[in-house]
Amino acid sequence: MIVIRTDTGITKLKSWEEVESRPNYMSNHTPNDAKLLSISGYYKFEGKPISCSLSSCHTAHGKGYLVRLSDGKEINIGHKCGKDLFEVEFETMTKDFRDFANGEEYKAVILQAKGLTRQWMDALDTMLDAPGGAKWANAHLRTLTTRFANTAVMKSLTDMKRNRSPHIMVNRKLTNKWEIEQRQATNPGMTWEEACWVRESSGTINGLPALYLENDLQELFIKQAKRNIEEIDNFDILKMPLSQLRTMSKQANDIPILLERCEQALQIAIQFLRPANLRGLRRVISKPDENEQFINYLKELESK
């Protein structure tokens, strides 16, 4: 990687030959009393070190700076040589250069993202508004947790969620006397009545993670994705300090991952909300009115 400062920003060169063809560049130079004028570039190579321009050095470096001198020449030197020769000034100038180059890099990322915000918003709206999409799924998940609060169905789902287990657990009464005695024998202190009941899985639910906090559709689609995209849209790259440019460029780079997360969470919710998937939960219900309410809820899920 070779980054060169230009009048308007930064540019990247593809090969070292392009550096060598710059008009004042010297691959072998004795600066004598020449002063450091400015840093004009930075380079970093995997595996192919570049020899230091100083005639007294010529050490090969994997990374270093291109600097302009008061004698009109441009040379490349490593960090150590630069410090030895130009002292504090070199440190200050290289830090400024790195900040500038990073800032330009961040701005480019943010500008590119600004060109994509419309497309990202459209993709989100499509996922939100489609029949059976995120708005529909979110509303029906909310209905489930509010309308069935304090019912056997929600108690069961809350347990499954807490244990992160897809099994619908039900109690079954044993009728075989020998089986009950065996349970008492292996569990000393257990009463006959207690030994009569076993808790076991009566099936599984797909898409249980739809209930997990990290898959909350409102949070992912609105509070994260939409808000983050709007922030990129409203961000003024010319007015912001380096630290905010850095934060916003990371936010821009992460949008595709966030959209992917939205898509995944929606698919999990759709899988969870299939009536055939939730039907098995009726086995935990003992009250007739709750059963009727739940059947109605499953019917509502049929229409999108």
Interacting residues with Zn ion (CB under 5 A): 52, 54, 57, 59, 81
Of 84 and 96, which has the nearer Cβ to Zn ion?
84
Of 28 and 264, which has the nearer Cβ to Zn ion?
28
Helix, strand, coil percentages for the chain (3-state, nearest 5): 60, 15, 25
Nearest residue to 258 (alpha-carbon basis) of 223, 233, 234: 223
Of 84 and 179, which has the nearer Cβ to Zn ion?
84
Q: Is 77 left (phi over 0), alpha (psi -120 to 50) or beta?
A: beta
**Pseudo-torsion of CA 113, 114, 119, 123, nearest 10°?**
70
Overall size of the chain counted in residues: 304
List CB contacts of 294: < 8 A, sequence separation 6 or more.
148, 153, 281, 282, 285
From the CB of 77, what's the least distance to Zn ion, in Å?
A: 5
From the CB of 41, what's the least distance to Zn ion, in Å?
A: 16
Residue 93, SS3? helix
Of 81 and 153, which has the nearer Cβ to Zn ion?
81
From the CB of 31, what's the least distance to Zn ion, in Å?
A: 11
From the CB of 215, what's the least distance to Zn ion, in Å?
A: 55
From the CB of 83, what's the least distance to Zn ion, in Å?
A: 10
Residue 172, SS3? strand
From the CB of 232, what's the least distance to Zn ion, in Å?
A: 42
Of 41 and 209, which has the nearer Cβ to Zn ion?
41
Of 5 and 29, which has the nearer Cβ to Zn ion?
29
Of 75 and 113, which has the nearer Cβ to Zn ion?
75
Task: Please tell me the distance from the alpha carbon of residue 83 to that of residue 93, in angstroms, as a whole number.
Answer: 11
From the CB of 76, what's the least distance to Zn ion, in Å?
A: 9
Burial class of 246 by CB neighbour count within 10 A (0 to 12, 13 to 18, 19+) = middle
CB-CB contact of 107 with 115 (8 Å): no
Task: Please tell me the distance from the alpha carbon of residue 280 to that of residue 190, in angstroms, as a whole number.
Answer: 30
